[in-house]
Amino acid sequence: MRIARDIIATAMIAAVAITYVALLGGTGMWIIADPRGGAAMGLVLGFAACIAVGDATTATTGGTWRTAVGFMVPVLVAAGIVTVVTNSWVALAVFMGALVLLWAATTARHIVVTPGGATSHTGAAHA
């Protein structure tokens, strides 16, 4: 089930990334024709991706992961809001970088950590 949720979240982030690349190339997509629209779409789909993954990451885990997410999420949201307000390409680039970084880190963590919280290891088992 976790893999299916990660695939759904990945599709949402891919849609945002494709829109970003289209914006950089000068090709608008109907209602999304500037950094403001790209950030608004990213905020909505990014939030939906978090819901799709279904992890209450900051509430259920501690340590380094909680600290990293506790830093990345406010940067991401702030950059998105700044982009929506200012319509800045630089702010949109920061927003997209933070969004992709958070998605990649979360997906990688799901590959390494099992749902019970234990780290998965590949290879032969040792006694």
Cα–Cα dist 79/57, whole Å: 21
Give percent of the chain with pLDDT exceeding 70.
80
- pLDDT in the model for residue 96: 94
CA torsion sign for 114, 116, 49, 59 is negative
Judged against a pLDDT cut of 90, whether residue 81 lies above it is answered with yes
- pLDDT in the model for residue 91: 95
Task: Write down how long the chain is.
Answer: 127
Q: Mean pLDDT over all residues of the chain?
A: 81
Q: Which tens digit of pLDDT belongs to each residue from 25-74?
A: 887 677 788 999 999 999 998 888 888 776 544 455 567 877 888 888 89
